[in-house]
């Protein structure tokens, strides 16, 4: 589908809004689950977005209600709602056929009726075709392989102090690092047959006294894998006793190491897809080197979820996420094949706005399918392709 809006309200003071759409599915409980979003169109109150593919496993049925929200993008991550509406895929098809628009609304601040806005949503293109879904690949034996990297820079605070982001609470209450590892790991381990996970730390002074930007979390000189999510949690807790927090915050080495493992897997199989979780509290010192590593990795079956903990300014991470519609560019001018990064600030998780898993699943299936389709890799056994709109 190609979506367009007209006459959007301006939310910026010195320029026009930078709108993007976010689409949610309403489930039986009444909750709404994010399923996809468009790129950002900068400085435009009458935007047309690039074609968006909605899969049947995302929207359920053509009559299932969807919520479409239009936001003004802010690099801080505090996006401002411009307006919203509720339509099913069947309704969107009807809008396309009739070439008519649907008015956006805003919730009333006084709790009364919704305010109907001048801004409208149009569906300029609507087509259906048969395509394999994420579940088709997974059920035919494709695997997700989990990797994790943890920030050991000094800005996290002394792990012995209760106000440290690395503080291990004797009562068993998880800190932000533990929570991110548990939430993401417990979902992905179901799709990983051997449940052996590479786990690294970065920005710490390791056992030999040198500062390392990619050390094995388990303390081993040779083996970087640990057994299951419990193994990651144990290696993390143990490393806090043996690794001194240092710095600076560099992602390049960790991404290159994960990319190397991913690349090596291609020599013997095409049914593995890797997910690297990076948990960090700080501002990157090697932004361009990180961009270079991500652009190189964008050709690989790899997605990267960055979880930001603490109260730092994470606007750099929003740049890496490339949700602004601007694909990452390397120092040599090469542009990323596709977006492989998803960023989630943990403060939004704590405030209940989103769960880490929800954020991962919002983009991971799309990134997985983009890679598989670009390589013309099909599920291993015959499947009936699902409809996508």
Distances (CA, A) of 25 to 18, 69, 94, 131, 255: 24, 11, 19, 20, 33
What's the pLDDT score for residue 350? 66
Residue 123 has pLDDT above 90, yes or no: yes
Q: Summarize the confidence of residues 315-343 as an average pLDDT.
A: 85
For 38-97, the pLDDT digits (tens) are 999 999 999 999 999 888 778 888 899 999 999 999 988 889 999 999 999 999 999 999
Residue 349 — pLDDT band, cuts 50, 70, 90? confident
For 228-276, the pLDDT digits (tens) are 999 999 999 999 999 999 999 999 999 999 999 999 999 998 899 999 9
Per the structure block, which two tokens stand in for 261?
Answer: 């493992």
Average pLDDT, the chain: 90
CA distance 188 to 105: 37
Question: Do the beta carbons of residue 165 and residue 176 sit within 8 Å?
Answer: yes
What's the pLDDT score for residue 236? 97
What's the pLDDT score for residue 266? 94
Residue 110 has pLDDT above 80, yes or no: no
Strands 19-26 and 211-212, by their bridges, are unpaired
For 175-226, the pLDDT digits (tens) are 999 999 998 888 888 888 889 999 999 999 987 889 999 999 999 888 999 9
Highest mean pLDDT among 107-116, 284-293, 355-364: 284-293
Give the three-class secondary structure for 348.
Answer: helix
Q: Specify the range with the lowest mean pLDDT, choosing from 208-212, 353-357, 361-365.
A: 353-357
**What predicted TM-score, i.e. pTM, was given to this entire model?**
0.69
């Amino acid at each position: 589908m190609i979506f367009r809006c007209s006459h959007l309200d301006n939310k910026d003071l010195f320029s026009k809004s930078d709108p993007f759409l976010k689409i949610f599915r309403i489930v039986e409980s009444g909750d709404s689950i994010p399923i996809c979003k468009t790129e950002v169109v900068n400085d435009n109150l009458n935007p047309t977005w690039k074609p968006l593919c909605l899969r049947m496993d995302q929207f359920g049925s053509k009559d299932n209600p969807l919520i479409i929200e239009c936001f003004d993008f802010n690099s801080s991550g505090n996006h401002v709602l411009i307006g919203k509406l509720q339509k099913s895929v069947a309704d969107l098809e009807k809008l396309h056929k009739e070439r008519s628009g649907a008015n956006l609304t805003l919730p009333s601040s006084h709790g009364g009726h919704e305010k109907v806005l001048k801004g409208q949503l149009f569906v300029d293109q609507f087509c259906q075709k048969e395509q394999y879904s994420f579940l088709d690949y997974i059920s035919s034996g494709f695997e997700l392989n989990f990797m994790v990297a943890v920030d050991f820079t000094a800005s996290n605070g002394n792990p012995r102090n209760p106000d440290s982001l690395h503080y291990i609470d004797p009562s068993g209450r998880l800190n932000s690092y533990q929570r991110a590892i548990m939430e993401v790991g417990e979902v992905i381990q179901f799709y990983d047959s051997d449940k052996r996970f590479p786990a690294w730390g970065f920005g710490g002074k390791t056992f030999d006294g040198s500062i390392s930007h990619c050390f094995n979390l388990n303390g081993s000189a040779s083996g970087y894998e640990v057994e299951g999510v419990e193994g990651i949690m144990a290696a993390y807790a143990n490393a806090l006793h043996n690794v001194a927090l240092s710095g600076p915050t560099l992602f390049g080495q960790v991404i290159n190491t994960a990319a190397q493992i991913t690349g090596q897997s291609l020599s013997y199989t095409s049914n593995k897809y890797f997910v690297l979780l990076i948990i960090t509290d700080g501002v990157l010192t090697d932004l361009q080197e990180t961009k270079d590593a991500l652009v190189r990795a964008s050709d690989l079956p790899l997605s990267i979820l960055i979880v930001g903990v603490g109260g730092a300014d994470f606007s750099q991470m929003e740049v890496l996420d490339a949700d602004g519609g601007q694909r990452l560019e390397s120092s040599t001018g090469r542009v990323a094949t596709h977006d492989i990064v998803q960023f989630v600030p943990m403060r939004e998780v704590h405030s209940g706005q989103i769960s880490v898993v929800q954020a991962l699943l919002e983009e991971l299936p799309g990134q997985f399918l983009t890679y598989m389709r670009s390589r013309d890799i099909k599920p291993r056994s015959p499947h009936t392709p699902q409809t996508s709109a």
